[in-house]
A and B are shown apart, each in its own frame.
Chain A
Amino acid sequence: MKSVITALTLALAVFLGIRSSVATAEEITGAGSTFVYPLLAKWSDDYSKQTSTKINYQSIGSGGGIAQIKAGTVTFGASDMPISPADLHEAGLLQFPAVVGAVVPAVNLPGVAAGALHLTGPALADIYLGRIKKWNDPELVTLNPGLVLPALAITVVHRSDGSGTTFNWVDYLSKVSPEWKARIGEGTSVSWPAGVGGKGNEGVAAYIQRIKGAIGYLEYAYILQNKMAFVLVQNAAGQYPEPGKASFQAAAATAEWSKTSDFYLVLTNAPGDNAYPITATTFILIHRAALATPSGKAALDFFRWGFTQGGPDAEALAYIPLPPSLTAAIEAYWQANSP
């Protein structure tokens, strides 16, 4: 009996020992956006090699990330959809952008190469509303005088699952089309008036490649990987910038972050001649009170490291690091809000 007690005590001691050793090597937990998951995984891998900090990030979706950080089960949440300052204050949360990406439309049209098709925002909205049904519609023909557009039916492809990619896409359509804003609105999933739904970016990419006459929207990385025939979209300044590092960064730089509170801004339809119109941001959410705790401080250290040294990782994965002016503003925001 005595030996059993000794063994149990020993086991408990070992267990507690393991627990405390985990607690000293700081572990940060996060949950949310699937859009940012590849980057956070790469960052945390590199970061844990340089420091003893481990980041455990679960890509459960933006909605889940918001729910988890509000419930206080994770150190930080990640969402592709920003939360309004009023809601942030009510929940005691802070919000800042982490990385910039883009949503790019792509088509499957015989004889139409990548970057050849030009579309305006309102034309995209009309296609997604199901009002423009054929590729040789006069509105599309006048936008593309140099192209021979076939008399093919348009098949709209959208996401079937709720997604931050969808949020940025429909946010853009709402900004450029009053009818879209009134009839459909915006959210991580909406009631689509037309088309088929693919699960995840890979599902949408597969549908576009399978269906002749299809148009769909994808994260930029999937356009690159699958060599899709992307579409050039007219931006707020009337230009047709190529999707890529320069135009995404231009959008992040020309966006008027300084006029917002808590970085409550969706990057779509950014002003600026070279700004890509459907640029997206992933936001990090963290409890204001957590900044006083070791795990909260470790989380900020991690993102500070990401902003200063994670740039090459981000670009390798087709994300765009935040411009220096923005990271400086985020640092000031942290200082102003630390307890």
Chain B
Amino acid sequence: MSGLLVARSEIAARPAVGPFGDRLFRALLIGAALSVLALLGGAAIAIFWGGLPAFRHFGLGFFTRLAWDPVRQDFGALVPIYGTLVTAAIAMITAVPVSFGIALFLTEVAPHWLRAPIGAAIELLAGIPSIIYGMWGLFVFAPFMADHVEPGLTALLGPLPLLGVLFDGPPLGIGMLTAGLILGIMVVPFISAVMRDVFRLVPQALRESALGLGATRWELVWRVVLPYTRSAVLGGVFLGLGRALGETMAVTFVLGNAHDFNLSLFMPSTSIAAAIANEFTEADSDLYRASLVALGFVLFVITFIVLALGKLMLARLAQSEGSRR
């Protein structure tokens, strides 16, 4: 009884220290969360402000015009936007299936002794600096593309209607296709790491029951593992896409850095990040600099839209899953 009393008095005594400590902790947490928002908002406003002279001068035409002429002070963002989106799209088209395969192999198929070394090797890929990818791309991958891959693609896909124009052009080895593929290699570790981690989280009981019902390995993956992890897999894909959109150094090396609009994927182009990295130091007029900052704002918005779309899709999925249950 007395023991209980003591305990009670201790409990009663605790709040005396509690409220202040609690409030301080709460304030710190709120401060930390708000500072991120403030930084994000501040960065958005600062970039928009820096780009405002370009938006004012060119109006909406800034987004639709192909020109990029520093001599005549005529700037349009369409080519860098197009180059950014096309290379990121090629990267995702190649990286998502490969990452999916790697993650499935590591969680479902590979013998246990092989899983750790392959997993570690893929994680090491993520640690390679992007400039190394760029140099490898320029000196090894681009000549390989020019000599072996691109002529073959032209012969194979060039005659096709509509699609053919994408693969018709001089095999330079430097252009949107090469840049997209390098980006793909660069984002594979990120996407596959997320996929592998979430595939592992599928409860063993679910797996075993599916196998027990006579499911093949393919059915297990397609009907059990993927539905269970769908939202997290999409999250990984969007993480990779975000990285592909903003990647600068490797792209600068192999994209060709030309403000030309071409449908052919073999032709050089430029991306938003590459244009800024290339041209900022010598952008000697205010309008030129403002146009580059405005490009940065466009990239900011594109990344924001991609992430928002990702979140929206995840929310939808969660909803439909909820209604199913």
Residues on A lying within 8 angstroms of B by beta carbon are: 60-64, 66-67, 153, 155, 160-163, 184-192, 194-199, 203, 206-207, 210-211
Q: Tell me which residues across on chain B come within 8 A of A163, comparing CB atoms.
A: 282
A207-B258 contact, Cβ under 8 Å, with A63-B281, A66-B284: no
Q: Tell me which residues across on chain B come within 8 A of A206, comparing CB atoms.
A: 138-139
**B68 at interface, CB cutoff 8 A:** yes
A187-B257 contact, Cβ under 8 Å, with A162-B283, A196-B268, A210-B146: no
Assembly CA distance A231 to B69 (angstroms) = 28
Assembly CA distance A197 to B79 (angstroms) = 14
Instruction: Find the A residue at minimum CB distance from B135.
Output: A206
Partner of B278, one of A153, A160, A194, A196: A160
Looking at chain B, what size class is its interface with the partner chain? Answer: 20 to 34
Contact yes or no, A190 B69, CB < 8 A: yes
A185-B281 contact, Cβ under 8 Å, with A196-B174, A196-B257, A210-B143: no
**B324 at interface, CB cutoff 8 A:** no
**B 250-294 binary contact with A (CB < 8 Å = 1; else 0):** 001100111110000000101000100111011110000000000
Q: Tell me which residues across on chain B come within 8 A of A161, comparing CB atoms.
A: 278-279, 281-282
Within 8 A of A (CB), among B56-78: 67-72, 74
Assembly CA distance A66 to B283 (angstroms) = 12
| Smallest beta-carbon distance A280→chain B, Å | 16
Instruction: Find the B residue at minimum CB distance from A193.
Output: B260
| Smallest beta-carbon distance B75→chain A, Å | 10
Name, among A155, A162, A194, the residue most crowded by chain B CB atoms within 10 Å (CB to CB): A162
**B21 at interface, CB cutoff 8 A:** no
**B170 at interface, CB cutoff 8 A:** yes
Name, among A160, A187, A192, A207, the residue most crowded by chain B CB atoms within 10 Å (CB to CB): A160
Contact yes or no, A207 B72, CB < 8 A: no
Residues on B lying within 8 angstroms of A by beta carbon are: 67-72, 74, 138-139, 142-143, 146, 170, 172-174, 252-253, 256-260, 268, 270, 274, 277-279, 281-284
A63-B283 contact, Cβ under 8 Å, with A191-B70, A197-B268: yes
Assembly CA distance A198 to B274 (angstroms) = 11
Assembly CA distance A61 to B279 (angstroms) = 11
Assembly CA distance A198 to B284 (angstroms) = 20
Contact yes or no, B252 A191, CB < 8 A: no
13 residue pairs bridging A and B, Cβ less than 8 Å apart? A66-B284, A155-B172, A160-B278, A160-B279, A188-B70, A188-B282, A189-B279, A194-B260, A197-B268, A206-B139, A210-B143, A210-B174, A211-B174
A155-B279 contact, Cβ under 8 Å, with A185-B71, A186-B71: no
| Smallest beta-carbon distance B207→chain A, Å | 49
Contact yes or no, B68 A191, CB < 8 A: yes
Q: Tell me which residues across on chain B come within 8 A of A186, comparing CB atoms.
A: 71
Assembly CA distance A196 to B268 (angstroms) = 6
Assembly CA distance A61 to B288 (angstroms) = 15
Contact yes or no, B257 A198, CB < 8 A: yes
Assembly CA distance A189 to B278 (angstroms) = 11
Instruction: Find the B residue at minimum CB distance from A156.
Output: B258
Contact yes or no, A162 B282, CB < 8 A: yes
Q: Tell me which residues across on chain A come within 8 A of B282, comparing CB atoms.
A: 61-64, 161-163, 188-189
Interface majority SS on B: helix, strand, loop or mixed?
A: loop
Name, among B259, B268, B282, the residue most crowded by chain A CB atoms within 10 Å (CB to CB): B282
Contact yes or no, B173 A211, CB < 8 A: yes
Assembly CA distance A194 to B260 (angstroms) = 8
Contact yes or no, A160 B67, CB < 8 A: no
| Smallest beta-carbon distance B240→chain A, Å | 25
Assembly CA distance A66 to B174 (angstroms) = 34
Contact yes or no, A160 B252, CB < 8 A: yes
| Smallest beta-carbon distance A180→chain B, Å | 11
Contact yes or no, A199 B281, CB < 8 A: no
| Smallest beta-carbon distance B141→chain A, Å | 11
- Besides A162-B70, A199-B252, 5 more A-B contacts (Cβ < 8 Å) are A66-B284, A155-B172, A188-B282, A191-B71, A210-B138
| Smallest beta-carbon distance A278→chain B, Å | 19
Contact yes or no, A210 B173, CB < 8 A: yes
Instruction: Find the B residue at minimum CB distance from A211.
Output: B172
| Smallest beta-carbon distance B179→chain A, Å | 12
A199-B257 contact, Cβ under 8 Å, with A62-B282, A63-B281, A161-B278: yes
Q: Tell me which residues across on chain A come within 8 A of B142, comparing CB atoms.
A: 210
Q: Tell me which residues across on chain A come within 8 A of B72, comparing CB atoms.
A: 185, 191
Assembly CA distance A186 to B74 (angstroms) = 14
Q: Tell me which residues across on chain B come within 8 A of A190, comparing CB atoms.
A: 69-71
Instruction: Find the A residue at minimum CB distance from B275.
Output: A160
Q: Tell me which residues across on chain A come within 8 A of B284, comparing CB atoms.
A: 62-64, 66-67, 162, 188
| Smallest beta-carbon distance A131→chain B, Å | 16
Q: Tell me which residues across on chain A come within 8 A of B74, comparing CB atoms.
A: 191
Assembly CA distance A206 to B138 (angstroms) = 8
Q: Tell me which residues across on chain A come within 8 A of B173, comparing CB atoms.
A: 210-211
Assembly CA distance A211 to B268 (angstroms) = 13
Q: Tell me which residues across on chain A come within 8 A of B253, comparing CB atoms.
A: 199, 203
The 4 closest A-B pairs by CB, nearest first: A162-B282, A63-B284, A160-B257, A197-B257
Contact yes or no, B281 A162, CB < 8 A: yes
A196-B256 contact, Cβ under 8 Å, with A64-B281, A210-B142: yes
Partner of B258, one of A67, A184, A195, A211: A195
Instruction: Find the A residue at minimum CB distance from B274.
Output: A160
Instruction: Find the A residue at minimum CB distance from B175.
Output: A196
Q: Tell me which residues across on chain B come within 8 A of A191, comparing CB atoms.
A: 67-72, 74, 259
Name, among A155, A161, A192, A197, the residue most crowded by chain B CB atoms within 10 Å (CB to CB): A197
Assembly CA distance A130 to B256 (angstroms) = 16
Assembly CA distance A62 to B68 (angstroms) = 20
Name, among A194, A195, A206, A207, the residue most crowded by chain B CB atoms within 10 Å (CB to CB): A207
Q: Tell me which residues across on chain B come within 8 A of A207, comparing CB atoms.
A: 174
Assembly CA distance A168 to B62 (angstroms) = 30
| Smallest beta-carbon distance A173→chain B, Å | 12
| Smallest beta-carbon distance B78→chain A, Å | 14
Assembly CA distance A156 to B307 (angstroms) = 38
